[in-house]
Amino acid sequence: MDTQNSAKVNTRKRRKETPGPNGATEEDGIPSKMPRCAIGLRQPAPFSDEIEVDFSKPYVRVTMEEASRGTPCERPVRVYADGIFDLFHSGHARALMQAKNLFPNTYLIVGVCSDELTHNFKGFTVMNENERYDAVQHCRYVDEVVRNAPWTLTPEFLAEHRIDFVAHDDIPYSSAGSDDVYKHIKEAGMFAPTQRTEGISTSDIITRIVRDYDVYARRNLQRGYTAKELNVSFINEKKYHLQERVDKVKKKVKDVEEKSKEFVQKVEEKSIDLIQKWEEKSREFIGSFLEMFGPEGALKHMLKEGKGRMLQAISPRQSPSNSPTRERSPSPSFRWPFSGKTSPPSSPTNLSRHKSAAYDIRYSYLEQNKFGSYVLLAQVQPGLTKNDAYGPQSRQGGHTEESVDP
């Protein structure tokens, strides 16, 4: 059986919708699990020098086929993974998770190199060896931790810890004068490859800190660290404090701008609503105004009706054609105001008739002018003529008018 196919590991991305362990599916090639005899699930993993090993029993390494098929509970497949594990991050945890899930019954041993070896072969670390040991101990996938692990794995070390397979990414790891420190492990058929997690590594984290050094220095100064602890000069300390104040002012200005934008937006929305409501009300008002005062509005019809009623009220009724005519003789003894001519004295009958005419006007005389409208000429009491309404001046010419019947 092909080694790589049989040691297929699950993908780096977790799938929450799948029921498999750690987000894995059947497509990931992980065989069904057996009851495992492993520790380190509820407490930190122990160190290898703290575990008592029974060397009386012979150690026989299992093959890849046997390990993939599954081993008895009392004989788990012992997988070894080593590293520096500085600034322990998710990339380290995922690599150990893949190593733990290589086989149905896996006992994961993790070796952590000491500070001396790491500084000699790789470089300075941020965390010391004790901090790195403790970080690996508290990873849930780890069953055992080997302190001061060797840089290159020897047959004696593999036999001492009864290791069946070594898990690591299959990229050649050149170090300590070798093109690949795992070359002899691969040739012996004990290598089980895992996948690196892209985008996260210890070097990437350190690069972020170095790139944004000023930001993190200001952050720690703000949190109470002294300039001496951060190895920051007096001038840089004052500069960082000034930058912090400037940033606070910028943040306040930005907050004010955002609030003002929100306020202006709300005002615009309200103004638009008011304009729309005003337009609706104005349309209603204009429509009502045109219905009342427009060319064909209700007011015009009301005026027409009122004019017709007024003309009907002031127009005279036609006198009967058989009403007798009357002539009145002029009176020499009566003089009208503003007139040099005399009129006949008024008899008691005429006087009473004129008095009643002054308080009981019932008939009117109209004349149509050149514009087509009617002009009121005179109003008389029934039984009097139009000349009686005009006075003696109209009778001087000898004109007689037909009396109006009551």
The tens digit of pLDDT for each residue in 118-145 reads 999 989 999 999 999 999 999 999 999 9
Are 180 and 112 members of one domain? yes
Alpha helices for 294-380 (secondary structure H): 298-314, 348-359
Among the ranges given (177-181, 201-205, 303-307), the one the predictor scored with the smallest mean pLDDT: 303-307
Residue 365's φ and ψ, nearest 5 degrees, are -115, 125
Average pLDDT over residues 162-185: 89
The residue-averaged pLDDT of 246-260 equals 89
In a domain, 391, yes or no: no
Q: What is the pTM of this model?
A: 0.54
Instruction: Calculate mean pLDDT across residues 305-331.
Output: 61
Residue 53 maps to a domain:
yes
Domain of 181 in residue numbering reads as 48-199
Residues 127 and 255 occupy one common structural domain: no
**195 and 207 within one domain:** no
Radius of gyration of the chain (CA): 61
Is residue 274 domain-resident?
A: yes
Pick the closest to residue 73 from 110, 44, 104 (CA basis): 104
How large a percentage of the chain has pLDDT more than 70? 67
In a domain, 142, yes or no: yes
Query: Do the beta carbons of residue 197 and residue 91 sit within 8 Å?
Result: yes
Residues 330 and 24: their CA atoms lie apart, in Å, by 138
E strand residue ranges, 50-155: 77-83, 106-112, 144-147
Residue 61 belongs to a domain: yes
User: Mean pLDDT over residues 284-289, rounded?
Assistant: 81
Query: CA of 122: how far to CAs of 84, 145, 203, 283, in Å?
Result: 9, 21, 11, 84
Pick the more confident residue, 175 or 170. 170
Residue 402: inside a domain: no
In degrees rounded to 5, what are phi and psi of residue 52?
-85, 125
**pLDDT higher than 80, residue 328:** no
